[in-house]
């Protein structure tokens, strides 16, 4: 038994891991490849258009657009870490990923997901200052403060990714079969020969505390935001304020719910359709939806996109195009 287990450990260390296979039928594998490719092109096209429009239009220089551009960069990175490998495996009828490739995929995917979470928290603070302290907005959310916030998001996210990934791969694995279509930390933890080590327990506890703190911060922030919005005398002013906050709140709630289910639900030894569906939602749905719900409902972004694409639509035609 010991020799068999040691053989599995050495195999996983040398040859890598076997990822989840959606189907063993060749036609379905090609269909999955086409689906992944279509999604990848759509997600990257939407986010790259947002990045290009904000970078090329001098009217979009406010803090909100700076944060939106960073959010789009994070979404491009997130899908680029996992989708190309999934496409390659489906196209070549392969499940294999190297050990170093799995480490890199887990590290950078976690890095982009955590940075997404932290940036959503910063964006909540930005909306709070804009609505509750409009006269002080320019001084509080100046260029230097925004750069410092985003730098803190990127640096702290990378540190979190290194710690969590290191804590996961420091333990030996008793199997190299990952019940997920990419190297996801919860799926990898199920392969460990022993229970979580003290270092990984500490990292998870730290992450949970930080995540809970961010959720409490955003909840309190929105209590103040909604209280301030209800005091706005004009109906149009209230609608405008709500339109800038509700999309962020909806996406953040969906992000937290799916991440909580994926990372904190009781572990099982086999993958279920529900596990796969939730993983697809939080790993693929949000990056393609963020450009729509955050940016394409913004009139300035629509105008910048029309100029970037060389379009000469009227405002009504542009709205119809983006909503179709």
Given this model, what pLDDT does residue 322 score? Answer: 45
φ, ψ dihedrals at 310, nearest 5°: 75, 25
Question: What is the rounded average pLDDT of the residues 184-196?
Answer: 79
pLDDT tens per residue, range 129-151: 988 888 898 888 999 999 999 99
Alpha carbons 206 and 108: distance in angstroms, whole number: 19
Q: What is the pLDDT of residues 223-254, one digit of tens each?
A: 888 888 888 777 777 777 777 777 777 778 77
| pLDDT grade for 106, boundaries at 50, 70 and 90 | very high
CB-count burial class (<10 Å; 0-12, 13-18, 19+) for 71 = buried
Considering only CA atoms, which of 79, 90, 81 is closest in space to residue 32? Answer: 90
Q: What is the pLDDT of residue 10?
A: 45
- Joined together, the tokens standing for residue 3 give 């020799």
Helix (H, G, I), strand (E, B) or coil at 98: coil
- Section 102-116 average pLDDT: 93
CB 8 within 8 A of CB 174: yes
Q: Sorting pLDDT into bands at 50, 70 and 90, what band is 209?
A: confident
Tens-digit pLDDT profile for residues 284-307: 777 888 777 766 666 777 777 777
3-state secondary structure of 237: helix
pLDDT at residue 315 greater than cutoff 50: no
| Residue 9 to residue 1: CA distance in whole angstroms | 12
The DSSP symbol for 18 reads: E
CB 59 within 8 A of CB 304: yes
The SS3 call for residue 175 is coil
Reference 99, options 9, 36, 180; nearest CA is 9
From the CB of residue 122, how many other CB atoms can be counted at a distance below 10 Å? 18
The mean pLDDT of the chain is: 80
Rounded Cα gap, residues 37 and 85, in angstroms:
11
- pLDDT score for 295: 65
- Give the model confidence (pLDDT) of 264-279 as tens digits: 655 555 555 666 776 7
- With beta carbons less than 8 A apart as the criterion, state whether 178 and 19 touch: yes
Question: Does pLDDT of 1 surpass 60?
Answer: no
Model confidence at 256: pLDDT above 70? yes
How does pLDDT run across 165-181, given as a tens digit for each residue?
Answer: 988 888 788 888 888 88
Which pLDDT does position 84 carry in this prediction? 92
How far apart, in whole angstroms, are the C-alpha atoms of residue 308 and residue 131?
A: 30
- CA proximity to 21, closest of 90, 106, 83: 90
């Amino acid at each position: 038994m010991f020799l068999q287990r040691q053989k599995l450990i050495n195999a996983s260390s040398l040859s890598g891991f076997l990822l989840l296979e959606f189907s063993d039928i060749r036609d379905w594998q090609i269909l999955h490849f086409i689906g992944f490719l279509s999604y990848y092109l759509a997600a990257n096209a939407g986010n790259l258009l947002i990045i290009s429009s904000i970078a090329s239009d001098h009217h979009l220089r406010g803090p909100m657009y700076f944060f939106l551009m960073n959010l789009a960069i994070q979404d491009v990175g997130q899908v680029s870490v996992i989708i190309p490998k999934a496409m390659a495996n489906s196209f070549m009828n392969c499940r294999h990923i190297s050990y170093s490739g799995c480490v890199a995929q887990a590290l950078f995917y976690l890095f982009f997901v955590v940075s997404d979470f932290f940036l959503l928290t910063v964006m909540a603070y930005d909306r709070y200052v804009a609505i509750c302290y409009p006269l002080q907005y320019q001084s509080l959310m100046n260029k230097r403060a925004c750069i410092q916030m985003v730098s803190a998001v990127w640096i702290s996210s990378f540190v979190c990714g290194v710690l969590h990934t290191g804590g996961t791969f420091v333990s030996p694995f008793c199997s190299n079969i990952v019940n997920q279509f990419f190297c996801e930390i919860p799926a990898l933890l199920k392969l460990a020969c022993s229970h979580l080590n003290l270092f990984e327990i500490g990292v998870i506890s730290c992450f949970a505390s930080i995540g809970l703190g961010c959720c409490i911060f955003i909840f309190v922030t929105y209590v103040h935001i909604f209280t301030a919005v209800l005091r706005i005398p004009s109906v149009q002013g209230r609608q405008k304020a709500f339109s800038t906050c509700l999309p962020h709140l909806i996406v953040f709630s969906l992000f937290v719910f799916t991440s909580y289910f994926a990372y904190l639900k009781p572990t099982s030894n086999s993958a279920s359709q529900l596990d796969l569906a939730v993983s697809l939602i939080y790993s693929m749905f949000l990056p393609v939806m963020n450009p729509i719900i955050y940016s394409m409902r913004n009139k300035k972004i629509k105008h910048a996109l029309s100029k970037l694409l060389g379009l000469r639509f009227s405002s009504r035609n542009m709205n119809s195009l983006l909503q179709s």
